[in-house]
Amino acid sequence: MQVANTGIYKLTVTVDGCTSEVATSSLVEIRTPGIADAGRDTIVCITDPEILLHGSIKGGRGTGIWSTQSTGTFSSLTDLQAHYKPSDADKTAGQITFTLTSTSDDDCAISTDDVTVFFGPLPSVNAGPDQGVCEQAPTVQLAGSPLVAGTRARWTTTGQGGSFTPSATDYNANYLPSAADVKAGFVNLVLHVENPGPCEVETDTMKITFIPPAKVTAENLRYVLRNRTITLHPNVSDENVQYLWTPNIDINDNKVKNPVITGTVDRTYKLTVTDSRGCVSSDSTMVKVSPEIVVPNTFTPNTDGVNDLWNIQGLIAYSDATVDIFTRYGQKIYHSVGYDKPWDGTFNGKQLPVGVYYYVIDTKLFNQVFSGNVTLIR
């Protein structure tokens, strides 16, 4: 049956269509099982003469009984808000466990719950949670608070040279870390009670950890063809950052990690990243517009001082480029990495005959490979 079925039930008898008057009536009460809640574990001062319990029974008749293995005395075993007087042995043990058991006059199952009360000095101040802050932060906002009304307190630091503003007696002061604090990587701040009572913890400590900014390594130098595009690829140690490239010129989006740059003029782009704690770090990439490569198809190495070298315009900017020259039979007669010294029409120190020679120029950038022929004329 359910609780909704609670009520007065009547019995009548019907024989051959005739119904008797009510033979008997009974009150039937349907209850839910009682659930015991002994309250939350807590700390009391060892000098307190009594402990006030805070139990409750949900459902059933709402009644219960306290018990304990300790040796003190209850004001009443059946009072859910009973007072308990601890013995000296209880205090020596340092804690007491109380059990609250539901009681009833029905067949519902009983319920039990335990609560533990600890003896000791009580915290009188809270220094606030530990904090991880950017090592560049000029100040750290503190969040101390009193746990006992009227408590006065003062901050101190385990570091060297740090200070508090506007005052070390302000629970919510700002802490100005010193260079030594930041170098050490952390500092402990202690909140001291002024004139603590006989059952008050005198101090509470919080830790500030100084976290360095994200490491940013941009590409030192990138080349781009004029009016063509490249994508920048910096390395950033923390992905949870905000990006900002400057200047915001010839760039598709200056607030992304990998922007696309259009080559118009040589320009330095600075990347600044800001992490979730406000730490800032930066690095720069120089983007140079590579000159157009112009390959002449003839030259005249006859030592007259005019057109004696095969000068490839613009190739000097491609320091990793390779140049290979072959005879019509496929023999390689020239090879260079970079082109700071142009070909003079010789092979192994000897002048080559007039004719057509074939070249392959690999710039090693942008998949640019040039091939063709050059005519040597004397």
Q: Kindly report whether the global pTM for this prediction surpasses the value 0.75.
A: no
Angle value at C-alpha 298, between 292 and 302, nearest 5 degrees: 125
Rounded to whole angstroms, how far apart are CA atoms 267 and 252?
15
Q: What is the pLDDT along the chain (378 residues), one digit of tens a residue?
A: 455 556 576 666 677 777 666 656 555 556 688 899 999 999 899 889 999 999 999 988 899 999 999 999 999 999 999 999 999 999 999 999 999 999 987 777 899 999 999 998 888 999 999 999 999 999 999 999 999 888 899 999 999 999 999 999 999 999 999 999 999 999 999 999 998 888 889 999 999 999 999 999 999 999 888 888 999 999 999 999 999 999 999 999 999 999 999 999 999 999 999 999 999 999 999 999 988 899 999 999 999 999 999 999 989 888 899 999 999 999 999 999 999 899 999 999 999 999 999 999 999 987 889 999 999 998
- The structural domains of the chain, ordered by start, are 1-29 (no CATH), 35-119 (2.60.40.10), 123-211 (2.60.40.3450), 216-290 (2.60.40.10), 298-376 (2.60.40)
How confident is the model over 175-205, as pLDDT tens digits? Answer: 999 999 999 999 999 999 998 888 889 999 9
C-alpha to C-alpha distances, 377 to 304, 305, 307, nearest whole angstrom = 12, 14, 10
Show the DSSP H helices in the chain as ranges: 88-93, 179-184
Give the per-residue pLDDT at 128.
97
The three-state secondary structure class of 145 is strand
User: Whose structure tokens read 């900017």?
Assistant: 317
- Contact, 366 vs 293, CB < 8 A? no
- Residue 270 CA to residue 286 CA, distance in Å, equals 9
